[in-house]
Amino acid sequence: MSFFDRLSNGWRITQNSFSILKKNKQLIIFPILSSISLILVIGIFVLGILASAGWDVELIQTENEVLNYLMLFVFYFVNYFIVVFFNMALIHCSKLYFNGEEATVSAGLKFSMSRIGTIVSWALFAATVGTILKVIQENSGIIGKFITGLIGIVWGVTTFFVVPVIAYENHGPISAFKRSAQLMKEKWGESLASTFSLGLIQTLVLLVLAVPVVLIAMYINLYVAVFIAIVAGFLSFAVFSAAETLFISSVYHNITGKLEDHFDQQLVDSLFEKK
């Protein structure tokens, strides 16, 4: 299958993801809640650091590397926990929709709460990996930074199916990582057509939104333009984040043979063609 055929299939599956989101607009609340939670966490971290320095930026201590890395680990942990918690809720809602059941926000949140122990375990594992990579990256030369960068990319690819795996399969963090990598090896192949499609669409949308924002900044008011840009960017991120998570859920259920409608098995197999 050619590269452009893969792009075509990725585009079709992406369209289906947006179609599902259009029929279940309430699902966009999950990435919105995730984003708000992350903003609050970052704010708490920043305020905590400033408070420890007596609200004087110049007094912020950075010499204690152990403390810095410990804080980084905590930040990674909270970040992973929040993202996985709300993504799992969204994935469960998509499963309810595929099964012909009512997909509600409360049902998604309730399911994530029922898997809270698993989410914590994965967040600890992922935060540990992230912190170790950061330590290596900051204490190595150019080659080391390049290698850790590649490892980070591989990590992102191999954990593609982790959220649905820990949601519906009885795996610990390490076995969930291996299971996700196995699914990728079986179905992903060389093409990231869907990711490319989503990225391309989002870029085009942002470019289109940039035109009126620039005009408003030039001819009306700069602060109004900034406000509109922030709101539009936030909503755009939420929509595309939800569509990407729906894509992951749909392909996972298709691969595991638990999805009969909405996505054609042959189409998915051709997109994630094994090499």
Which pLDDT belongs to residue 6?
Answer: 58
Query: Is the whole model's pTM more than 0.85, yes or no?
Result: no
Q: Which of 89-103, 216-230, 257-271 has the lowest mean pLDDT?
A: 257-271
Report residue 271 as tokens.
């997109």
Checking if the pLDDT of 153 tops 80, the result is: yes
* Straight-line distance from the first to the last Cα atom of the chain, in angstroms, rounded to the nearest whole number: 11
- Closest by CA to 168, choosing from 206, 118, 214, 218, is 118
Whole-angstrom distance, CA of residue 118 vs CA of residue 202:
32
**What 3-state class would DSSP assign to 68?**
helix
Checking if the pLDDT of 269 tops 60, the result is: no
- Contact by Cβ (8 Å): 242, 28: yes
Average of per-residue pLDDT across 81-105 = 91
Whole-angstrom distance, CA of residue 157 vs CA of residue 190:
11
- Exposed, middle or buried, 41 (CB in 10 Å: 0-12/13-18/19+)? middle
Percent helix, strand, coil in the chain, to 5, is 80, 0, 20
**Model confidence at 187, in pLDDT bands (50, 70, 90)?**
low
Which pLDDT belongs to residue 275?
Answer: 43
pLDDT tens track for 121-131:
999 999 999 99
Whole-angstrom distance, CA of residue 90 vs CA of residue 93:
5
Average of per-residue pLDDT across 68-94 = 92
Angle at 193 between CA 200 and CA 171, to 5 degrees: 115
Q: Which residues contact 7 (CB under 8 A, 6 or more apart)?
A: 193, 196, 197
Whole-angstrom distance, CA of residue 139 vs CA of residue 111:
41
Checking if the pLDDT of 105 tops 60, the result is: yes
Give the C-alpha distances (Å, rounded to integers) separating 88 from 77, 95, 167. Answer: 16, 10, 7
- Contact by Cβ (8 Å): 18, 198: no
Q: Which of 61-75, 162-176, 247-261 has the lowest mean pLDDT?
A: 247-261
Report residue 29 as tokens.
């609340």
Checking if the pLDDT of 272 tops 80, the result is: no
- From the DSSP assignment, how many helices (H) and strands (E) are in the chain? 11, 0
Report residue 238 as tokens.
């939420």
**Model confidence at 266, in pLDDT bands (50, 70, 90)?**
low
